[in-house]
Structure 1
């Protein structure tokens, strides 16, 4: 057996006799951190996944600003944490209908997507995420008066964890 290599001239295109194996579609979604966003009228709660996309953790709460400084901060966090996907909760009514809050979340998600064109921004149904978050905080011993500073982050954790869990179940 010879260890010699030979050059192939590709200037005229790919030779017909050399077959290229087809690319296999990856079974796993893009690896990397996912950012969860809970959009409220006054505040935006953020949660971040671990690099494997398994566990959601609270990140921070942004105050919504008329000058859109919150969106600037959010775009900076996407870069800082090397986020590969952003999930924005869409507050749909229990009936499935969309209201003013859902429209606000959708508009916010679009403005964010315009600022981070290389990172997908996905809207997902977040029915009862704040109720679930408040329940979890109560179970952790945090009374309702002390929940306000962290409720938005906790809701973002619920939104993100539901997304991560549902994606894992599909694969």
Structure 2
């Protein structure tokens, strides 16, 4: 059950638990957490990547501490919609979390095209951050951007389902 279609994610997350957004990169994994109502994403930090078992253990600790019921992983789809080696790497990370680290939370993917560049533009233009400071926050901000996009899509999905007419009885 852990790998689920994005549209099925909310039905698999137990009530009262939150979603953890991940922006997996080659050097770090950006992290963001949702509120309990799945409305707002907040950046919480990064994991500096090392050995898989160490990274998975740190991630599992965060999931327990933050009461995480599901994960949304940013999927770096190419601009033309195809999946390249980076997508394969993210999918493999998710599979390893399930197979090797025993994660039982449902995991869904979210197309993260342009998330890092959107965050970089904001940090340079609006926040006027230095290059050093941007390097410290861009991964967790990208995770929040990814998670917020997913939360907004899930909210739209829920509204659409609620407004569908009931079948005649």
TM-score normalized by the length of structure 2: 0.79
1:118 equivalenced with 2:104 (yes/no): yes
Match of 2:4 in 1: none
- Tell me how far 1:60 sits from its aligned partner: 1.1
Pick one of 110, 127, 145 that aligns with 1:158: 145
Q: 3-state DSSP class of the match of 1:58? A: strand
Pick one of 57, 62, 84 that aligns with 2:69: 84
CA, structure 1 residues 56+40, in 2 after alignment: closer, same or farther (shift >3 Å)? same
Match of 1:75 in 2: 60
- Tell me how far 1:118 sits from its aligned partner: 2.6
Pick one of 23, 36, 43 that aligns with 1:58: 43
The alignment's C-alpha RMSD in Å is: 1.5
Match of 1:108 in 2: 93
Give aligned pairs, total: 144
- Tell me how far 1:113 sits from its aligned partner: 2.8
Distance 1:67 1:169 in 2: 35
Structure 1's consecutive aligned runs of 4 or more residues displaced over 4 angstroms after TM superposition are none
Pick one of 118, 129, 133 that aligns with 1:142: 129
Q: 3-state DSSP class of the match of 1:127? A: coil
Match of 2:24 in 1: 39
CA, structure 1 residues 116+168, in 2 after alignment: closer, same or farther (shift >3 Å)? farther
User: Residue deviations 1:71-103, cap 9 Å, x none?
Assistant: 110011111111111000110000011111111
Task: Tell me which of the two structures has the higher relative contact order, counting C-alpha pairs closer than 8 angstroms and 6 or more residues apart.
Answer: 2
Match of 1:49 in 2: 34
- Tell me how far 1:148 sits from its aligned partner: 0.6
Higher helix share: 2
Q: 3-state DSSP class of the match of 2:113? A: coil
Distance 1:141 1:86 in 2: 31
- Tell me how far 1:132 sits from its aligned partner: 1.2
- Tell me how far 1:67 sits from its aligned partner: 4.8
Larger radius of gyration: 1
